Structure 1
Amino acid sequence: MADTPGNVTTIDVWVDPRCPWAWITSRWLLEVERVRPVRTRFHIMSLSVLNENREVPEKYRQAQLEGWGLVRVCVAAAQQHGEAVLRPLYEAMGTRIHLEGAGLGRDMMLAALRAVALPDMLVDAAEDTGYDAAVRASHHAGMAPVGGEVGTPVIHVPGPAGDRIAFFGPVVTPAPRGEAAGALWDGVVTVAATDGFFELKRGRDRDPSFS
């Protein structure tokens, strides 16, 4: 399944910085990089786009509004400094949001930008609707191949015929470590590459764990 020089497989993952489940999956993918010849590229999807025109619980309404700022800043950073900045910027935002409880506001975004040596002025993109078309384009590039009934994370991997296989998940908590991470990756690739395979799911009985 290698699609890059040196037999390294490229995993493309679409994430929203505010999604705890995507954060855990991203931790798993970074662990997979340690035990398998893979490299993860990060892209932006948006829970605010995903949940447009849907009824959401009142406690999530403010996050729906604030969530636009995060993805606008990410897209602006990628446009001005290259797609490669998304990985460290997502890391910086996710650490502050999920591990430090820093919220979704301007101060958090500014601290994240500074942590990865990006200009402070990028934080102004949070209020700039001019980036929304690019947010939507990135979102749909990741989500459209999977279908409209899934959330985040979404992963694209190279298939056996040279195409890309897109799927939702895996949703897991906490992130597996070491060879357990590699074994999960092996299983995910196997089922995703099986012609006609669509879904394997059970109800969640745990909250996200970042340990």
Structure 2
Amino acid sequence: MRLYVDPVCPFAYLALRWLDEVAALRGFEVDVRIMSLAVLGEADPDREPESARGTESAWRPVRVGVAVGERLPEFMSRFGGLYHRDGVRGRDEVLRQVLAAMDLSSSLGAADDASFDDEVRRSHGEGMEPVGLDVGTPVIHVDDVAFFGPVLGAVPRGQDALDVFDGAVALAGAPGFCELKRTRSGGLSFK
């Protein structure tokens, strides 16, 4: 099972935590890969280019995600914990703290290194190809089924986590299925 996520998306962080729960209960690993809100935003002519956002650019965390390689799941979990759960602001500050905790401070330079962009785009394209370009993050691939979401406001635990997983995979695998949605209510819970 593969999970395509952007570190700056709170729903991606919640999906990672949910799938970690499912993986622990089912005895498999989550293959975490990069997708990019910056790449998605390029299709919107009314959106300010990410490059204009300086140290808050969504490009910076995904470049670092590529640079940390096999430690991407740990990077995503630590980044999400600080940025989303703990509310630490300043993406540069979060990157510094996360990389220091991982003993990878030398990887901070990747944030400004556009040579990582081809790999970001490759991974992003791989994740999006089976689901289309009009969705966001998270994107999940399970065997021959791929889908956007689910967009969760909290992490289901135990049997609830398994039920949501099994239901999402079954629904996404149904012939002709394309979307299920309802309006979000209430805040997000990162507990």
Task: Tell me the TM-score normalised to structure 1 length.
Answer: 0.82
Residue 16 in 1 paired to residue 13 in 2? no
CA shift, 1:206, in A, is 2.8
Match for 2:29 among 11, 17, 39?
39
Instruction: Output the amino acid matched with 1:134.
Output: E
Going from structure 1 to structure 2, the CA distance change for 1:195 and 1:156 (only over 3 Å counts) comes to: same
What is the distance in 2 between the residues matched to 1:27 and 1:104?
22
How far apart are 1:175 and its partner, in Å?
Answer: 1.0
Distance 1:208 1:21 in 2: 9
Quick check: 2:16–2:77 contact (8 Å CA) kept in 1? no
Structure 1 position 64, deviation (Å): 9.4
- State the aligned residue count: 188
Inter-partner Cα distance in structure 2 for 1:206 and 1:63: 31
Q: Partners of 1:96 and 1:125 in 2: how far apart?
A: 19
- Change over 3 Å in CA distance of 1:187–1:29 after alignment to 2: same
Tell whether 2:186 aligns with 1:206: yes
Deviation at 1:63, TM superposition (A): 8.3
CA distance in 1, matches of 2:86, 2:54: 17
Q: 1:101 aligns with which of 87, 96, 110?
A: 87
Residues 66 and 120, structure 2, Cα contact 8 Å, conserved in 1:
yes
Identity %: 41
Q: Does 1:74 align with 2:65?
A: yes
Distance 1:102 1:76 in 2: 22
**Equivalent in the alignment of 1:180:** 160
Match of 2:15 in 1: 25
Q: Structure 2: how far apart are the matches of 1:99 and 1:210? A: 5
The answer to whether the Cα contact below 8 Å between 1:47 and 1:64 also exists between their aligned partners in 2 is no
8 Å CA contact 1:34–1:178 kept in 2: the answer is no
Instruction: Note the alpha carbon deviations across 1:182-211, whole angstroms, 9 max, x for none.
Output: 111111121122222222212222332212
Q: CA RMSD in A?
A: 2.1
Selected match of 1:143 from 105, 128, 138: 128
Answer whether contact 1:48 1:65 (CA < 8 A) is retained: no
Deviations 1:48-102 (A, max 9, x none): 1111141348xxx748952111011111221xxxxx2111111111111112222
Assess if the C-alpha contact under 8 Å between 1:18 and 1:104 holds in 2.
Answer: no
Match of 2:111 in 1: 126
Specify the SS of the correspondent of 2:100.
Answer: helix
Q: Secondary structure at the match of 1:195?
A: coil
Contact 2:7 2:79 in 1 (8 A): yes
The aligned amino acid for 1:87 is: P
Q: Is the 1:154–1:166 Cα contact (8 Å) retained in structure 2? A: yes
Alpha-carbon separation, structure 2, partners of 1:189 and 1:99: 27
Aligned amino acid, residue 199 of structure 1: E
